[in-house]
Structure 1
Amino acid sequence: MSPLQLVSLKSEVSRSPLETFVACAHQMLDPATPEAVRRAMEPRLLAQLTALRALGVFELFELRDPALKAWLADELAELLASCGQ
């Protein structure tokens, strides 16, 4: 099974926030992924941001895909603004 097939629309196995984030990001970036699956991955990926930020993941690693990096930077800024930070 490829890493891209690890995350299905159903979550049978509990995964760490990092595993979920990476698997969702891979699926979202794969050009062969249908748009409906990409849209289904978005909320799952975004749900991991708080935990990944708390773990310091974004201080240790840099996202290389420019579109994903910009989108997540916007989402993180919105998250921080809503938390009053």
Structure 2
Amino acid sequence: MNWKLIGGVAAVAVAMVLFAPGPMAALAPLLVVAVCPLSMWFMMRHMHGSSSQTTDAADRTEIARLRSEVAELRQQHSDRTTT
């Protein structure tokens, strides 16, 4: 788990107990239970965002390489057919 997330949730839970000691303080245990699903959700969003950017750049590089290879093969083919 991410220590920043755990620290943030702990800080929110302590603030809820200190500054809203009533019905809001009863939500602190729920917040502790929600740490796992929340961290999973943030992690998936982060991974999806970074992987799509990396994949787009890699795809563009691969497409450029393939286009140059096709052009080279066409040139070789035309050289063979003219001689």
TM-score (norm 2): 0.25
Q: State the structure with more CA Rg.
A: 2
TM-score (norm 1): 0.25
**Which protein is richer in helix relative to its size?**
2
